[in-house]
Chains A and B, each alone.
Chain A
Amino acid sequence: MNASAMGNVPAEPSGWHFRRIAWHWRYDEKRELWIGWWTLVVFYNLYGLLFFVVARTQPPPEPSLSPAEVVQWFDDRHRGLLYGYAVVFIVGGATAIMNATLAYSMRRMSVSRAFAYSYLVIYALATLPGMLIMGVVCTVGAMRPERDPELMRWLYDFAFLSFEGTMGVFLIGSLVWMLAILLDENGVFPKWFGYLNLCNALTEVVVAPAWIFKSGPFAWNGAIAWWINMGVFVAYTIAFLTLLRKMILREDFGSGPLPDLSTAPALAPPVSLKAAR
């Protein structure tokens, strides 16, 4: 089971990508982690592309549009909404493997399994307010342009408020991760990233006024409720993708402190399968 320990592993080919991928698929002990990490990277890029470029629902439009303007808004991005969100629906399930990878990072820490499990369930539910409800509602809005404009506006409100106003999952999720990192003695993540989780959690609080204001900095498209929040989230996401990659490079499949990158063993020590479960 530990191919590298058996000593008959061909060297990793250089150059042509498919052969390298095939090599990793066959011999890389960390392939499960790399599958998770690449899913995260591809997904976040795709998510940005679909929401910002294809569906053009981000940055969000004004909450104060009149019903007629809302109909126009749906009309302007008819195809983008219908096809963009269809792709979101196909790849949306990928969040499962992403969250599993992040939950694994918590399992690798010296903390209780409760952290990994809470994180897993919280973020499994986060896909609904995070994209799926908005996708369904925008699809319904776009599919019948002749619908009563007042109802179109109801769908418009539903879409953006479900997306921006339901931050509890991200708030608690960040706090769970923060606590796990601060308590961890295995050095899986640097402590500063634990504190960065707190910054992220605090900006999730700041979105709440989107329920109250229809214009200004606190509305769902506002400078504070959207732009600053999104800026922090992007910084946070880039940080954890980088740190997760480092974690996978350092991973030794043990249960003690994670070795440093410079001292990380090239080969994983053979561990029994039971220990890995």
Chain B
Amino acid sequence: MRRTDGEVLLLGTLPVVGVIWLAAFLLFPGFVHPMSPTMSAEEVAAFYRDPENLPRIRYSMILFNWFAVGFIPILALVVLQIRRMAHRTPIFSYAIIACAAGGPTIFLMANLFWLLAAFRPMRDPQLTQMFNDLAWVTFSSQVGFLIAQSVILALAIYLDRQERPVFRPWVAHFNLVVAALLTPAAFAGAAMTGPIAWDGLLTFWVRNVAIGLWIVVMAVVLGQAIKRQRADDEAATT
């Protein structure tokens, strides 16, 4: 079995994980019409106490808890492609490994706060609201590692100076655009209404669509790169 076979297998997990994520996303009652930061403590508590919402909150977050880190193998594949680039040092591949460790950990914290809020919904509404705030702010504003991995990947691609670069330059441009689209979300805590608020156009919709798009596009270009790598390996052995 060739080494790249395992990589293809790992890449194949992405659609599965993606479908589970989408399902969990749609299942969570506070995402499709994102909860507003202007909700009062009583409204937030009522949201968690609603017998229709409660199981959906729990099951969706349990799913996220299981599959949030499903993204790490894909980043590992990105690392392997960066290692094939014409660089003098492994700094860029190391940096993506660092992002892979940091990003999902933060997402897990948001997940934890949501589940805590849902565990005893009869708690003082102020407490439920605080956990809800912690969850949403963590979920929305923690774009640092996503921005970093896009920028680092873009730098790595720009500096990959060989006749047939691993990724085409447009992948780098695309990553920089994604990084720019993610940036406003960092300000999620600074506004209660408008596009920057955690339910706003930029912070919620643009950010999440950008992440989704990044996953789809990177899956395709990774698939192509691995395919080319296999062809090269075969040509080298025969």
Contact between chain A and chain B defined by CB under 8 Å: yes
12 cross-chain CB contacts under 8 A: A30-B88, A32-B91, A86-B141, A93-B102, A99-B98, A100-B94, A116-B94, A121-B98, A124-B102, A140-B189, A142-B189, A143-B37
CB <8 Å contact, A90 and B102:
no
Partner of A32, one of B87, B148, B149: B87
Known contacts: A92-B145, A124-B102, A136-B141. The answer to whether A277 contacts B83 by CB under 8 A is yes
CB <8 Å contact, A273 and B86:
yes
CB <8 Å contact, B143 and A124:
no
Known contacts: A89-B141, A132-B106, A143-B133. The answer to whether A33 contacts B101 by CB under 8 A is no
Query: In whole Å, how far is A139's beta carbon from the nearest beta carbon of chain B?
Result: 4
Partner of B130, one of A1, A91, A155: A155
Is B137 interfacial (CB 8 A cutoff)?
yes
Task: Specify the chain B residue showing the minimal Cβ separation from A85.
Answer: B189
CB <8 Å contact, A128 and B159:
no
CB contacts (< 8 Å) of A97 on chain B: these are: 91-92, 95, 98, 148, 152
CB <8 Å contact, A136 and B134:
yes
Known contacts: A86-B141, A99-B98, A147-B130. The answer to whether A93 contacts B91 by CB under 8 A is no
CB <8 Å contact, B94 and A90:
no
CB contacts (< 8 Å) of A33 on chain B: these are: 89, 91
Query: In whole Å, how far is B237's beta carbon from the nearest beta carbon of chain A?
Result: 17
Q: Tell me which of A60-68, A101-109, A174-182, A203-211 binds B.
A: A101-109
CB <8 Å contact, B189 and A128:
no
Known contacts: A85-B189, A140-B134, A276-B88. The answer to whether A93 contacts B127 by CB under 8 A is no
CB contacts (< 8 Å) of A140 on chain B: these are: 130, 133-134, 137, 189
CB <8 Å contact, B126 and A147:
yes
Give the tally of cross-chain contacts (CB within 8 A): 164
Q: Which of A121-150 contact B (CB under 8 A)?
A: 121, 123-125, 127-128, 132-133, 135-137, 139-140, 142-144, 147-148
Is A120 interfacial (CB 8 A cutoff)?
yes
Is A219 interfacial (CB 8 A cutoff)?
no
CB <8 Å contact, A143 and B189:
yes
Is A244 interfacial (CB 8 A cutoff)?
no
Number of interface residues of B (CB under 8 A): 50
Interface of chain A, main secondary structure: helix
CB contacts (< 8 Å) of A32 on chain B: these are: 87-89, 91-92, 159
CB <8 Å contact, B101 and A125:
yes
Task: Specify the chain B residue showing the minimal Cβ separation from A26.
Answer: B161
CB contacts (< 8 Å) of A91 on chain B: these are: 144
Query: In whole Å, how far is B140's beta carbon from the nearest beta carbon of chain A?
Result: 10
Kindly name the residue among B106, B183, B192 whose own CB sees the greatest number of chain A CB atoms within 10 A: B106
Kindly name the residue among B86, B90, B99, B141 whose own CB sees the greatest number of chain A CB atoms within 10 A: B141
Kindly name the residue among A120, A139, A268 whose own CB sees the greatest number of chain B CB atoms within 10 A: A139
* Complex Cα–Cα for A258 and B15 (A): 46
CB contacts (< 8 Å) of B86 on chain A: these are: 1, 273
Query: In whole Å, how far is A34's beta carbon from the nearest beta carbon of chain B?
Result: 10
